Amino acid sequence: MEFFHGQESLTGIQWILRAIVAFFFLLFATKILGQRSISQLRLLDFAMAISLGNIIAHPLSDERLGMKGSMITMSVLVILYTVGVLLTLKWSSFQNFLDPPPIPLIKNGQIISANLRKARISVDYLLSELRKEKIEDVQKIALVLWEPDGTISSFLYPQHQTPTRADLKIIPEPFSLPSVLIKEGKIDYCQLSKTKFTEDWLKNQITSIYNGEIRDVLLATIDQNDNLQVFLYK
């Protein structure tokens, strides 16, 4: 455990061990933080990401710094982050400080310039984000919101929205997600066991219809109607 403490110099193996310990400790800390911390960077998440990155980086580049202090500091920050998340769920004023309500940028086809300045974004950026949503005319928009995580939510007037099956009174088919039976040349036996088919049937289908072997299959899926789709390596 000499690599764990600060020293004048470290051997190559000690540097490797220090990197491995830091990597798995960071994974463990991120797991405790939860999916929210990596799926979106809001104010609290951004502060944590910057802090953890800086703290864990120093002992990985300076042999005179031990890892004990960094790991203790990271543990304290993880606890503070968890407390902060709990406070946002229990204390509305604290939640509004960290995750303020969305800012309306466009309302009833009119751009609200004061809110653009409040969100610190330009008209060009706003129009760019609208183009990504296939919206070319501001006057078609009922509402655009600047979300706390820095994304834009847009809502068109009903007359400009794409009609749905419900609007056209078309009875939709039940939703079904195809099951992946083969991925990158390997059979997923867990998914295969949920179907009525066997491994021999699957291999026979690949051989007789697609003239290939299991190892030749990049992806194979089957839907609720037992339709098998196979994509071979090319």
Same domain for 65 and 17?
A: yes
Average pLDDT for residues 158-176, to the nearest whole number? Answer: 83
Same domain for 91 and 111?
A: no
Better-predicted residue by pLDDT, 228 or 29: 228
> Count of CB atoms within 10 A of residue 161's CB?
12
What's the chain's Rg over C-alpha atoms? 27
Same domain for 18 and 80?
A: yes
Q: Is the pLDDT of residue 180 over 60?
A: yes
Better-predicted residue by pLDDT, 208 or 64: 208
Residue 197 class from Cβ within 10 Å (0-12 exposed, 13-18 middle, 19+ buried)? middle
Instruction: Compute the distance between CA of residue 212 and CA of residue 131 in angstroms, rounded to an integer.
Output: 44
**Which H/E stretch holds residue 222?**
strand 217-222
Better-predicted residue by pLDDT, 35 or 116: 116
Instruction: Compute the distance between CA of residue 92 and CA of residue 115 in angstroms, rounded to an integer.
Output: 23
State the pLDDT confidence band at 106, using cuts at 50, 70 and 90.
very high
Better-predicted residue by pLDDT, 124 or 25: 124
Q: In the chain, what are the helix, strand and coil shares in percent, each to the nearest 5?
A: 50, 15, 30
Query: Is residue 152 one of the residues assigned to a domain?
Result: yes
Query: Is residue 9 one of the residues assigned to a domain?
Result: yes
Return the minimum-mean-pLDDT range out of 6-10, 19-23, 170-174, 182-186.
Answer: 6-10
Same domain for 42 and 21?
A: yes
pLDDT in tens, 64-92: 666 666 777 777 777 877 787 788 778 77
**DSSP assignments along 119-166, one per residue:** HT--HHHHHHHHHHTT---GGGEEEEEE-TTS-EEEEE-GGGSPPPTT
Query: Is residue 166 one of the residues assigned to a domain?
Result: no
Number of domains in the chain: 3
- Which range of residues forms the domain containing residue 212? 179-232
Same domain for 57 and 124?
A: no
Task: Identify the sign of the CA torsion 145, 110, 162, 132.
Answer: negative
Query: Is residue 170 one of the residues assigned to a domain?
Result: no
Average pLDDT for residues 52-59, to the nearest whole number? Answer: 68
Same domain for 198 and 149?
A: no
Same domain for 15 and 57?
A: yes
Query: Is residue 168 one of the residues assigned to a domain?
Result: no
Tell me what pLDDT residue 211 has: 85
State the pLDDT confidence band at 61, using cuts at 50, 70 and 90.
low
At which of 95, 113, 134 does a domain end?
Answer: 95
CATH number at 129 reads: 3.30.240.20
Q: Is the pLDDT of residue 221 over 80?
A: yes
Query: Is residue 165 one of the residues assigned to a domain?
Result: no
Query: Is residue 171 one of the residues assigned to a domain?
Result: no
Q: Is the pLDDT of residue 56 over 50?
A: yes
Tell me what pLDDT residue 38 has: 46
In residues, how long is the chain? 234
Tell me what pLDDT residue 29 has: 63
